Amino acid sequence: MTDTTTSKLTLAHYNDRAEAFWEGTRDHDVSQNIAALLDPIEAEPPYTILDLGCGPGRDLAAFKALGHVAIGLDGAKRFVDMARDRTGCEVWCQDFLSLDLPVSHFDGVFANASLFHCPSRELPRVLRDLRNTLKPGGVLFTSNPRGHDEEGWNGGRYGSYYELETWRRYLIAAGFVELSHYYRPPGLPRSQQPWLATVWRAAR
């Protein structure tokens, strides 16, 4: 199966379950992740933020409420429509495997529970695209379910589940400098923290 087909099937999964996804995630508290992106940004606010894989727009609305210029991006057309309707923000319908992003445009990129859907063969190119769309010194936040470098299908969605050291190698090779990392949900034993969050600065 090609990576393009893999992406199309994963996006179809989300399109078919868009309302259920919204109901299941609308109340998730990711304020820790939002702060992890915003705090290291060195520009003067308001910031221009790309919410990569914005879904129905929960976090897009949060960035807007904080006074920032928030733009969403998602490959699932149903999510794009929902995010536009709920937030009034600009939302781009783009597959991660064929990104068309402006150069040196964003102060921050928020990739919350999204990049793990990118097949490992495509990840270096996608990360370079994100590096290029950030202003020099801009910040990238990522949160992905962690694993032992396995990838494959899980409930109709394709995912890649990396060890921290493997994830670091990909980001460093793409031109990022690590600022911090942590595991979620907070306050639990590591065995009960399935999410790995990392924060990166685009090398100047």
Domain ranges of the chain: 3-202
Closest to 100 in 3D by CA, of 121, 120, 125: 125
Instruction: Give the residues of the chain that fall short of pLDDT 50.
Output: none
Residue-averaged pLDDT of the chain: 96
Alpha-carbon distance of 10 to 163, in angstroms, equals: 22
CA distances from 16 to 9, 50, 57, 124, 158 (A): 11, 24, 17, 29, 15
| Residue 167: alpha-carbon gap to chain centroid | 14
**Residue 24, both tokens:** 């299941």
**Residue 203, both tokens:** 């090398």
Which pLDDT does position 3 carry in this prediction?
83
Which pLDDT does position 120 carry in this prediction?
96
What are 94-127's pLDDT values in tens digits? 999 999 999 999 999 999 999 999 999 999 999 9
What is the enclosing helix (H) or strand (E) of 84? helix 77-87
What are 5-22's pLDDT values in tens digits? 999 999 999 989 988 888
Which pLDDT does position 2 carry in this prediction?
84
The superfamily (CATH) of domain 3-202 is Vaccinia Virus protein VP39 (3.40.50.150)
Alpha-carbon distance of 72 to 55, in angstroms, equals: 8
